Amino acid sequence: MMKDRFELVLEPTDLWTVWDTQTEEPAVFGDRSLIALLESEAIAACEILNGVHQKRQAAQAGDAKEKKTGGGSAA
């Protein structure tokens, strides 16, 4: 199983940051850096971002497989 891209980090202030392990920076959602969050907010954001990332990875893998096998439908 692949490691999650986004992880939770507890800050010294007892607030949470959603950390992007790919960019090595706090995650961004829209125009908001996901820092200084309540635990429940951070968990929800992390789950959403990891879900989106996993779906994108699966879609890209499917596209690559389709190109490799010449699959797909002609319109």
Q: How confident is the model at residue 73, as a pLDDT?
A: 57
Question: What residue ranges do the domains of the chain occupy?
Answer: 6-68
Q: How confident is the model at residue 17, as a pLDDT?
A: 99
Q: How confident is the model at residue 75, as a pLDDT?
A: 53
Mean pLDDT in residue range 16-32: 98
Do 26 and 20 contact (CB within 8 A), yes or no? Answer: yes
**Percent of the chain, pLDDT > 70?**
91
Strand partners, 20: 6, 25
Predicted TM-score (pTM) above 0.75: yes
DSSP letters for 20-55 = ETTTTEE-EETTEE--SB-HHHHHHHHHHHHHHHHH
Count Cβ atoms below 10 Å from residue 20 Cβ, excluding itself: 17
